Structure 1
């Protein structure tokens, strides 16, 4: 393969990553921020599953149509899941602030509460691949999501650490945030954990519901 073809392939992949990041940002804005994060992330995973994003020179229009089709279809249901997470994290955050203000309680409850906050954040990572890649009822998928941080401890720690690393890069280089941050994170996480989810029998080639 000549060097010019290699360059074009690299540029094509970079363009795909930018497309995905831009679509996620648009989806988040359309949902007025808080109401758009979960639908936009679900739609992003839908494109990853579909594989269209990895085709040679993907059409932005075609990608946008597929993205917003998935976005609208799951907007209410996936935001319902997001609301549950928001309530749980808010309650844990209040507990965390109360514990910090307690002289005696801080010694016993500080790290357990911090652990539960981190654990809930970790389950969010698995919410989207389980929602998109697996079949089953809401209860079955919720059970899988809650168990995965414990079943895949290394992947969980890596996913959280990788997010912090990308956050630091975005803080240092502001252009990274609007063009690469979210898409880079979820593409890498998807590739990293998908094999393990298949080994555990969580992913069986099912379709999203």
Structure 2
């Protein structure tokens, strides 16, 4: 691959990553926040999984937008059943953080650490849910997403660290939020977490 083609590939990745990030933000706004975040994340994840970032994919921006709209509409109701549950859990955790912040220092350190670990675990189950082959309310899926953070502790921990670092950078440099924050997280979700899982679950010769 020559330098010219490498530059074209890099520009293609930048363009599609930016487009997916904008689509995520638009979907988030249309869904009024929480009810837009889940279908947006699921839709962008499925587009990436389908190879929208591949240079020879051949899809134009309007086609990608239409695919996103279709996936968003198809997953909106099913995924938002889980969004309600996670919304309640996150609200309870926020309340707990506020309550712990008023405790004496020694108790605060212990319970704050416990809550951070619990928050990371809940967030990871949320991520593994969005990565599921099918989104539906069933015991196997619930069991799977609850076990995955424990079954893949190193990959899960590294992913959380990446999200924290990217979030801190986004707070410092706000342009990151508009350009690649959300799509970047989902990219790592697919190319790191999903790939790690596939590699470990693949039959060994």
TM over 0.5: yes
Q: Does 1:147 align with 2:163?
A: no
Spell out, residue by residue over 1:171-206, the C-alpha distance to the aligned partner (whole angstroms, 9 max, x if none): 3332221111111221122111112322454x99xx
Query: How many angstroms apart in 2 are the aligned matches of 1:85 and 1:154?
Result: 24
Q: Deviations over 1:24-80 (max 9, x none)?
A: 111111112222000100100110121133243631111111111111111011111
Q: Distance in 1 between matches of 2:136 and 2:88?
A: 25
* Counterpart position of 1:207: none
What stretches of structure 1 of length at least 5 have no aligned partner?
Answer: 205-209
Deviation at 1:164, TM superposition (A): 1.5
Distance 1:176 1:138 in 2: 37
Q: Note the 1:59-98 alignment, pairs <5 A.
A: 59-98=60-99
Number of paired residues?
A: 201
In the TM superposition, residue 150 of structure 1 has moved relative to its aligned partner by 0.7
- For residues 196 and 72 of structure 1, what CA distance do their matches in structure 2 show? 29
TM-score, with structure 2 as normaliser:
0.86
Paired with 2:34 and 2:160, the residues of 1 have a C-alpha distance of 20
- Is 1:37 the counterpart of 2:37? The answer is yes
1:108 Cα deviation after fit: 5.9
**Alignment partner of 1:163 is 2:144:** no
Q: Which structure 2 segments of 5+ residues have no match? A: none
Superposed, 1:21-60 pairs within 5 Å as 21-56=21-56, 58-60=59-61
Tell whether the 8 Å contact from 1:28 to 1:35 is kept in structure 2 after alignment.
yes
Tell me the alpha carbon deviations over residues 67-95 of structure 1, each in whole angstroms, 9 at most, x when there is no partner. Answer: 11111111011111011011112223323
What TM-score results when the alignment is normalised by the length of structure 1? 0.84
Following superposition of structure 1 onto structure 2, how do residues 93-172 of structure 1 map, counting pairs within 5 Å? 93-103=94-104, 106=108, 109-130=111-132, 133=133, 138-172=138-172
> What is the RMSD of the two structures over their aligned residues, measured on CA atoms?
2.5
Offset of residue 135 of structure 1: 8.3
Corresponding residue SS for 2:131: helix
Deviates more, 1:25-34 or 1:52-61: 52-61
- Contact kept in structure 1, 2:21 and 2:179, CA below 8 Å: yes
Q: Distance in 1 between matches of 2:4 and 2:196?
A: 36
Does the 8 Å CA contact 1:16/1:58 hold for their aligned counterparts? no
> Alpha carbons of 1:197 and 1:136: their partners in 2 closer, same or farther (altered >3 Å)?
farther
Q: Secondary structure at the match of 1:52?
A: coil
CA displacement at 1:168 relative to structure 2: 2.4
